[in-house]
Structure 1
């Protein structure tokens, strides 16, 4: 029988060994999934056994944030490790856009390719649909999926958008120029099958997979495997995403690379509350997608890497999708691009379950488009006066409601004791507000605010650049 000391040394040595190897990395990125939409974060009305397992065998990140709480900017933050405004992506691209993520930016896929990784993406891109902006031009060896959101098609409930047909693509080839509802029911399955196949094909080779699901962004479509399996359509969708996670975890075990693979599960922003019962839940948070409150920016996140990430642990440190690029770069032993500002932080100590001497990320800036709406440092969040949209009332069954407008005055919230942002403490802690105001001014100088240009912004990609 091993003594406790020997057990501890054995664990530490195996952890160090796995941390020194170049791990495979899989990032599962849901679309519009709310903070409380999965079991480990409090979901009700349906079960997510595979995500429950992932949390039990890995680590929950309870204070994990996106770059901006809408699709394209959020994805640019994940891909580049930067605030979206820094890389010229303040808002969503559309099927009529002639711009995209600048090919001069260095994506997380391009980072790991420098270390010999095979790279693949299966799902929604939404960072430019012209050939020079597509995933295969941004570091991915393979791509199968949609160029933008699954509601950007002729079946959108609001005819004023007049969207063109939505294509299904593989690389730069259009497989289906106009997908239909009967096609959308298969998206989660198709993406999952492609992911499992890539794992099996590359089990003896370091790989990076980016799996940005189309769901649970409206319109909601579940396959026959899950349609009607829960009391709600939304529950069916989350259950099928949970199935997808299970298929991936099983494939890692079956191929013997479970302990060589970091799996990250998270979302691009909070739920689209305008759609009522076809939108998700923010749980204790305030508001949702499109706002700069926690319900828009804070998303569920689970990371699993058996033998390296301590099982069943919670991480309450301030973290963000921007942090994944520098973290993965370090794990792949690749230097970050020289002379290029990267806003993400290397959070390996948190992943390894260590207690860093100081916070790896102290601040977060909450932008809405080009406008700075809030500043975070530690538990404190200063919200600037602004008007924002809320459902009033929300829609139902796939039909959106109408937005109402509300205004918030300058407010100071302490998120550790008031995660719902309900108690304005501005009058009680003026010195804290002044400190955050100073940070806000630094953000304006660096990134800009409204019509004010920041000194360190880079342009989006344009055709013919």
Structure 2
């Protein structure tokens, strides 16, 4: 008995020595957090995910020194909704932010929701957002009201301005207006507009300006105070712009130039962390809000082996390239094929820094085990919603598409020079795909696995009850309202009509 106990203690001691220390202890300093969030990047647009058309050395280094997530997803396949999910850890349906909010929208992310920035401020973090916000452009919804100490960037997408697609070539200097569709595009610093009419020349400087702000923020806080830095780049959303230092450098057209500049931005951030002595204890996450806008052709990225792109809930629409680096905790050169999502970042960060989770229900899971080991996904199921439509349900292996209509190029080429082609509309029925063996969603195997279909349909019914489903005309019992600012009294009296 005593020999067994001694042997057991010895084996336990050996296991403790052999196992990397990955969980934060009470004496650890809280990590700094950096999230770099690209707009409309394709799954295969960077070196760690197979791109060889242009170099991405800084992202390659991040992958070599950190961990690659091959089954990482945005909550949905469109701008505002996916950003709401990242910030709150919730499905967009839960917080009632759908689609892409337009300039002057009377709704935005409800200030009652708890964002990652607000969690970090619980623990004394400095917080900053430099880039595209797109969760409401009225004063009540800007980053200053959502936990960010500093903000510099555009309030929404860079194509929400008076130029037509393809009519803003810098060399031509052409400005063709869209009638009354969009006001001039503003650039904010804090709560103030510092440029009321962003020009094409201004857009070419945005990636550099965001990067300069990010580096300055790190330089000011490194070693003095923990920080949360959110860099939601405007690019590679169309219209594409790049600074002179990268124009023509990729040999792969404007899109390649733009991605190379984003890679440079990552390198500048990593260098600032190292210079400030906080490189080891900073978690850096690089990912995207949704897949490529494929009807823009040579101004869009590539989803690689995945089906379709932005605006669909096929894998090409919402499976994202994701690399995480944290030298103190994440083993170098790792990869996981387990399911994870942007919604998981909020609860994971809360656990890392010892912050209290929101009292309101969230949907994300703590994925530290996926970041540091070969653990299985914590998700039993993932609901594939798009604009209140429950289009599919998936788990670690299977994905069941529910009958719905979707947009597609149906094998056609996309546009050229920043001018899109029109989508076709197609319909999919009840179809099951084995994502572990058919990531391209090419072969329906529903007939071979009726028990899987039945199980997934039960999950779908639970989703509809909680979060609703426009396709089946269901309202969800767990849906919370977006923030809403009523029209001024005079406008209310005159609003309406056809």
- Give the TM-score of the pair, scaled to structure 2: 0.89
Shift of 1:156: 3.0
Shift of 1:377: 1.6
Q: Which residue of the partner structure matches residue 9 of structure 1?
A: 17
Q: List alignment gaps of at least 5 residues for structure 1.
A: none
Q: Which residue of the partner structure matches residue 195 of structure 1?
A: 214
Larger Rg: 2
Shift of 1:407: 1.3
Shift of 1:464: 5.4
Q: Superposed, which structure 2 residues align to 1:127-142 within 5 Å?
A: 127-142=135-150
Q: Superposed, which structure 2 residues align to 1:128-277 within 5 Å?
A: 128-157=136-165, 159=178, 162-203=181-222, 204-231=224-251, 232-277=253-298
1:259 is paired with a residue of what secondary structure? coil
Q: List alignment gaps of at least 5 residues for structure 2.
A: 1-12, 167-177, 488-498
Deviates more, 1:345-354 or 1:229-238: 345-354
Q: Superposed, which structure 2 residues align to 1:43-442 within 5 Å?
A: 43-157=51-165, 159=178, 162-203=181-222, 204-231=224-251, 232-338=253-359, 340-353=360-373, 355=375, 359-391=377-409, 393-442=413-462
Instruction: Check conservation: 1:22, 1:331, Cα contact below 8 A.
Output: yes
Residues of 2 paired with 1:20 and 1:7: CA distance?
21
Instruction: Check conservation: 1:19, 1:308, Cα contact below 8 A.
Output: no
Shift of 1:385: 1.4
1:460 to 474, 482, 498: 482
Q: Give the direction of change, closer, same or farther, for the CA distance of 1:18–1:229 in structure 2 (3 Å limit).
A: farther
Residues of 2 paired with 1:18 and 1:281: CA distance?
43
Q: Give the direction of change, closer, same or farther, for the CA distance of 1:329–1:63 in structure 2 (3 Å limit).
A: same
Shift of 1:8: 8.3
Residues of 2 paired with 1:448 and 1:429: CA distance?
27
Instruction: Check conservation: 1:34, 1:295, Cα contact below 8 A.
Output: yes
Shift of 1:45: 1.2
1:12 is paired with a residue of what secondary structure? coil
Q: Give the direction of change, closer, same or farther, for the CA distance of 1:423–1:133 in structure 2 (3 Å limit).
A: same
Instruction: Check conservation: 2:95, 2:481, Cα contact below 8 A.
Output: yes
Task: Kindly report structure 1 stretches of 4+ aligned residues shifted beyond 6 Å.
Answer: 5-8
Residues of 1 paired with 2:15 and 2:476: CA distance?
53
Shift of 1:14: 8.2
Residues of 2 paired with 1:349 and 1:171: CA distance?
36
CA-to-aligned-CA distance 1:128-150 (integer Å, 9 cap, x gap): 00001000100000000000000
CA-to-aligned-CA distance 1:409-450 (integer Å, 9 cap, x gap): 210000000000000001111110000000000000000000
Shift of 1:405: 1.0
1:452 is paired with a residue of what secondary structure? coil
Shift of 1:9: 3.4
Residues of 1 paired with 2:257 and 2:327: CA distance?
29
CA-to-aligned-CA distance 1:310-330 (integer Å, 9 cap, x gap): 100001110000000000011
Question: Is 1:33 paired with 2:53?
Answer: no
Residues of 2 paired with 1:320 and 1:344: CA distance?
7
2:448 is paired with a residue of what secondary structure? coil
When the two structures are aligned, how many residues end up with a matched partner? 458
- Give the TM-score of the pair, scaled to structure 1: 0.95
1:309 is paired with a residue of what secondary structure? coil
Residues of 2 paired with 1:187 and 1:282: CA distance?
25
